[in-house]
């Protein structure tokens, strides 16, 4: 698969995969040096074949390393008790308002020291890699104090440095109003704006700033203030928008020029139109709708309206405890009306654009990072059709083989 990388793909472009049958790629020094038909590359590199490691992928599918543009990777603990409560009828918001949900994970994450948080998060990152993912966005937001937000971001930084998977960090101090600010949420908003954002930016620990804009969490007005404060400090805006209720989050994302608006299960038609006009990428999370037993975002409608769509696991302990981008692609087809080709675009080049990496990763193009996944399926449609199985055979990250035969090297 190859193609232009200037901007996220929209409309019919999302169907264009640029597939090369019987193709080869030449990777060198961590970079894709050439991509083309077998015969072409064999001719060009004839004199170098003896020194190269040849990986035979015949009969298999070679894609760009998958990109996950929205995760809450760094956290401590699990919330299977809440899963059980939801199966008996409790809602996500009820559980959160009663002190569970994000608050429960915040308590666990505050209690974990750097090493414990690193160990738990690394395990998940290994699993991402085993499922073919080579770049992951990771948000803070389970600290909710400067000290513990910084701890989460420091763990993400260390994972980026030590683990093959690349991490792109997002500050999300505005993930929930902490229990002790319940009566005075604006005071917490001010703390995020006056203390947390400047310090996170000063330390260079995040590129993006995100907020959970949802009734009962942060209002659109508070969200706007937080995102604008981030922009003043060089943090690019992202927003959790219209996840549980329609709340004009998509409209806000368009107004402030957010890089992405994420979730959008309940986004209005006006909001979708504004996003298309403003070039805001929709990051859709069908695993979350599935796990919350809610109706998925309408990916089909968004693509037809000209919005660039990306997809993601939303990996988090409450509403989507999965690490499987292939499963998310399956759900994209089954639950969001997207075609197998569109979900592959959404999980690669559009996902890369959603974290401002569209020029470096997300497609197999000359000059890009040598991030490549080989699936043991004959074509990309079989990948979307044989769901529930990990088809990853080999993963190459920055030119190094890091998964072989479905196992970490």
Residues that bind Zn ion (CB under 5 A): 314
Task: In angstroms, give the least distance from the CB of 320 to ligand IZC.
Answer: 7
Give the one entry of ligand IZC, Zn ion, none that residue 318 binds, where binding means its C-beta sits below a cut-off of 5 to 8 angstroms depending on kind: ligand IZC
- Cβ atoms 206, 153 nearer than 8 A: yes
Q: Which two tokens stand for residue 170?
A: 């997002």
Can you tell me whether residue 256 is helix, strand or coil?
helix
At residue 133's C-alpha, the angle toward residues 399 and 380, to 5°, is: 95
CA distance 3 to 17: 7
CA distance 48 to 52: 7
Give the one entry of Zn ion, ligand IZC, none that residue 317 binds, where binding means its C-beta sits below a cut-off of 5 to 8 angstroms depending on kind: ligand IZC
Indicate the pairing of strand 166-174 with strand 281-284.
unpaired
- 223 touching ligand IZC, by CB under 6 A: no
Q: Checking phi first, is residue 399 left (phi over 0); if not, alpha (psi -120 to 50) or beta?
A: left
- 102 touching ligand IZC, by CB under 6 A: yes
Task: In angstroms, give the least distance from the CB of 214 to ligand IZC.
Answer: 7
Q: Which two tokens stand for residue 50?
A: 């003896």
Give the one entry of ligand IZC, Zn ion, none that residue 220 binds, where binding means its C-beta sits below a cut-off of 5 to 8 angstroms depending on kind: none
Indicate the pairing of strand 392-397 with strand 372-375.
antiparallel
- 240 touching ligand IZC, by CB under 6 A: yes
**H helices present in 112-184, as ranges:** 114-130, 146-162
Can you tell me whether residue 167 is helix, strand or coil?
strand
* Selected binder of ligand IZC within 164, 220, 317, 362 (CB under 6 A): 317
* Selected binder of ligand IZC within 128, 208, 212, 290 (CB under 6 A): 212
Residue among 379, 273, 263 nearest 310 (CA): 263
Q: Which stretch binds ligand IZC (CB under 6 A): 62-70, 121-129, 275-283, 316-324?
A: 316-324
State the residue for tokens 């690019």: 236
Q: Using CB atoms within 10 A of its CB, is residue 293 exposed (0-12), middle (13-18) or buried (19+)?
A: exposed
* Selected binder of ligand IZC within 120, 298, 319, 345 (CB under 6 A): 319
Q: Which stretch binds ligand IZC (CB under 6 A): 203-211, 301-309, 315-323, 386-394?
A: 315-323
* Selected binder of ligand IZC within 316, 363, 393, 394 (CB under 6 A): 316
CA distances from residue 63 to 2, 189, 369 in whole angstroms, order as listed: 9, 42, 13
State the residue for tokens 């999302």: 14
Give the one entry of Zn ion, ligand IZC, none that residue 326 binds, where binding means its C-beta sits below a cut-off of 5 to 8 angstroms depending on kind: none
Q: Of 71-90, which residues contact ligand IZC (CB under 6 A)?
A: 72
Q: Of 282-311, which residues contact ligand IZC (CB under 6 A)?
A: none
Q: Which two tokens stand for residue 273?
A: 């139109």
Task: In angstroms, give the least distance from the CB of 77 to Zn ion.
Answer: 17
Binding mask 105-124 for ligand IZC (x = CB under 6 A): x-------------------
Task: In angstroms, give the least distance from the CB of 289 to Zn ion.
Answer: 13
Q: Of 33-72, which residues contact ligand IZC (CB under 6 A)?
A: 72
Give the one entry of Zn ion, ligand IZC, none that residue 330 binds, where binding means its C-beta sits below a cut-off of 5 to 8 angstroms depending on kind: none
- Residues contacting ligand IZC: total by CB under 6 A: 10
User: Which residues make up the interface to ligand IZC (CB under 6 A)?
Assistant: 72, 101-102, 105, 212, 240, 316-319
């Amino acid at each position: 698969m190859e193609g232009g990388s200037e901007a996220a793909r929209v409309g019919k472009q999302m169907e264009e995969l640029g597939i090369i049958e019987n193709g080869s790629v030449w990777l060198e020094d961590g970079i894709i040096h050439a991509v083309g038909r077998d015969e072409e590359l064999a001719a060009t590199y004839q004199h170098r074949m003896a020194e190269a490691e040849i990986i035979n992928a015949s009969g298999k599918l070679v894609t760009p390393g998958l990109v996950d543009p929205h995760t809450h990777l760094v956290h401590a603990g699990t919330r299977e008790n809440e899963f059980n409560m939801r199966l008996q009828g409790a809602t996500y918001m009820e559980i959160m308002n009663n002190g569970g949900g994000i608050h429960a994970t915040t308590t666990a994450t505050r209690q974990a020291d750097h090493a414990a948080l690193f160990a738990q998060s690394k395990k998940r990152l290994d699993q991402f890699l085993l499922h073919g993912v080579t770049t992951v966005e990771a948000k803070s937001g389970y600290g909710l104090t400067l000290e513990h937000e910084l701890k989460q971001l420091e763990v993400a930084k260390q994972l980026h440095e030590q683990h093959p998977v690349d991490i792109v960090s997002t500050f999300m101090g505005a993930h929930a109003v902490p229990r002790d600010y319940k009566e005075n949420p604006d005071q917490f908003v001010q703390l995020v704006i006056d203390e947390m954002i400047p310090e996170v930016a000063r330390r260079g620990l995040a590129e993006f700033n995100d907020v959970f804009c949802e009734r009962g969490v942060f209002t659109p007005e508070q969200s706007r203030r937080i995102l604008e404060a981030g922009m003043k400090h060089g943090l690019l805006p992202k927003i959790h928008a219209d996840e549980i209720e329609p709340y004009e989050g998509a409209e806000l994302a368009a107004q402030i020029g957010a890089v992405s608006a994420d979730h959008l299960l309940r986004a209005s038609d006006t909001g979708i139109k504004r996003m298309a006009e403003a070039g805001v990428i929709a990051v859709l999370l069908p695993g979350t709708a599935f796990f919350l037993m809610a109706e998925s975002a309408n990916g089909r409608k968004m693509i037809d309206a000209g919005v660039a769509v990306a997809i993601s696991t939303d990996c988090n302990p409450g509403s989507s405890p999965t690490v499987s981008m292939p499963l998310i692609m399956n759900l994209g087809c089954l639950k969001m009306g997207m075609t197998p080709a569109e979900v592959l675009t959404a999980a690669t080049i559009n996902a890369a654009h959603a974290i401002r990496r569209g020029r470096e990763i997300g497609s197999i193009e000359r000059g890009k990072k040598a991030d490549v996944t080989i699936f043991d399926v004959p074509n990309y449609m079989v990948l979307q059709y044989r769901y529930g199985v990990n088809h990853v055979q080999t993963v190459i990250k920055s030119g190094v083989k890091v998964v072989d035969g479905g196992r970490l090297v």
